[in-house]
Structure 1
Amino acid sequence: MRIYESYKAKPSLNKRNFRTLKSIILASGSSIRKKILDDSGMIFDIVLSDVDESEIKKSLQTSDLKLICLSLAKAKAIAVSIKNPDSYVIGSDQICCFENEIFSKPKTKENCFKTLSKLSGNTHHQNCGISICLDGKEIWQNYDQAALSMKVLSDNEINSYIDLDEPLMACGAYKFESQGSSLFEEIEGDDSTIKGLTLDPILNFLNSKNVIEFSAEKN
């Protein structure tokens, strides 16, 4: 398989110089979101939410990606926050979109192929909404979008990539944190947004609330 090297993802973040002062919960079972926070040096727990995302999407009756992302992130965070009122709960949602079509997790190799065939040679967007809740109420939200231009891929290259990375549960049918990043010739946006959890705004907000404390000292 030919892996394009026009775009290379940034290496994992070094652990930041800050202390975690209060309880933080990530309301997600995503291993990538967990890694983003782990790499930052944050101390946190994981509690999964039990919200029905499909029902929330139906109730919204909108194609506004920002509203959908933020609403789903808020629902996840509030569901966990109600049961953990003293913790700062982080909820997140990600949507991949191309030409007004939303791509859910493919789940099968056939769907992976269909998605990547549509994205091949085109520019699509990854949208990330984040909500932080305390005591069952949303206290902060953030939305970010990244644009990704994919190289033109042959059918053989697409199939080879799918076999290599097995992106069955990946938003957009590629694992950007793995071999998927090499499929792109140009990226506009934050790597952490593409991975599903825009990091710097979270850290800045938590620091402003004295949940974490930045330090000039080296680890």
Structure 2
Amino acid sequence: MTIWRGTKPLILASKSAARQALLANAGIAFEAIPAELDERAIEVASALSAPGEIAALLARDKALFVSARHPDRFVVGADQTLMLGERLFSKPAGRAQAAAQLRALAGQSHELHSATAVGRDGEILFENVSIARMTMRSLDDAAISAYLDAAGESVTTSVGAYQLEGLGVHLFERIEGDHFTILGLPLLALLRFLRSQGLLA
């Protein structure tokens, strides 16, 4: 018996391995078709500053971009922002930037804002923003360097230079919030919506 009841697979407008794993583990038939958008340009043009609003805008834009190219399909867009005080973080461009981000986050608490939107035929049918609060332990330069050596190129694929589902878990002393929110796809709210549409058994 399959859980998915849609006539065609769900589309995930993301290349995130963590998001794809969450859907696969939940038994949802999907295909990943990343939205080829200039996220930073969209963010700047929007003039938004609230992290939840930025994440929601990008999630909507990704869902709409892909759904416009795949008629009659349910498309999930997702985005995540990281805020430390008044500072908004983006994915680090390389090792040096990852190290700088980790130095800023070490010993501090920051917030992850994870947004999800579902689009179909140019219309947003569902959207949700969830927040998790993360407290990183104190890290000296030697600890940061050792982490970067071990984590490798993966540090450039996630905002904040860590992936909690991997080696990034060693960086933290306290976490408050939903595990799925931290991984970038608030899954429980998404599943409720999909059930409401008759797409899940």
Q: TM-score, normalised by structure 1?
A: 0.87
- Runs of 4+ aligned structure 1 residues displaced above 6 Å come to none
Match of 1:169 among 140, 157, 160: 157
- 1:209 alignment partner in structure 2: 197
Give the structure with the larger helix fraction. 2
Match of 1:158 among 138, 144, 147: 144
Are 2:64 and 1:64 aligned? no
- 1:191 alignment partner in structure 2: 179
Match of 2:121 among 124, 131, 135: 135
2:37 match: secondary structure: coil
Between 1 and 2, higher relative CO (CA 8 Å, sep ≥ 6) is seen in 1
Following TM superposition, by how much is the alpha carbon of 1:21 offset from its aligned partner in structure 2, in angstroms?
A: 0.9
Are 2:65 and 1:79 aligned? yes
Distance in 2 (CA, whole Å) between partners of 1:31 and 1:126 is 18
Q: Name the amino acid aligned to 2:157.
A: M
Contact 2:133/2:175 (<8 A) preserved: yes
Identity of aligned residues (%): 33
Following TM superposition, by how much is the alpha carbon of 1:202 offset from its aligned partner in structure 2, in angstroms?
A: 0.6
Q: TM-score, normalised by structure 2?
A: 0.94
1:146 match: secondary structure: strand
Q: CA RMSD in A?
A: 1.3
Contact 1:165/1:175 (<8 A) preserved: no
Distance 1:18 1:184, change over 3 A: farther
Structure 1: gaps (5+ residues): 1-16, 214-219
Following TM superposition, by how much is the alpha carbon of 1:55 offset from its aligned partner in structure 2, in angstroms?
A: 2.1
**Residue deviations 1:153-208 (CA, integer Å, cap 9, x gap):** 11111110011112122211112110111211110001111111111111111001
Contact 1:126/1:145 (<8 A) preserved: yes
Distance in 2 (CA, whole Å) between partners of 1:178 and 1:148 is 15
Structure 2: gaps (5+ residues): none
- 1:19 alignment partner in structure 2: 3
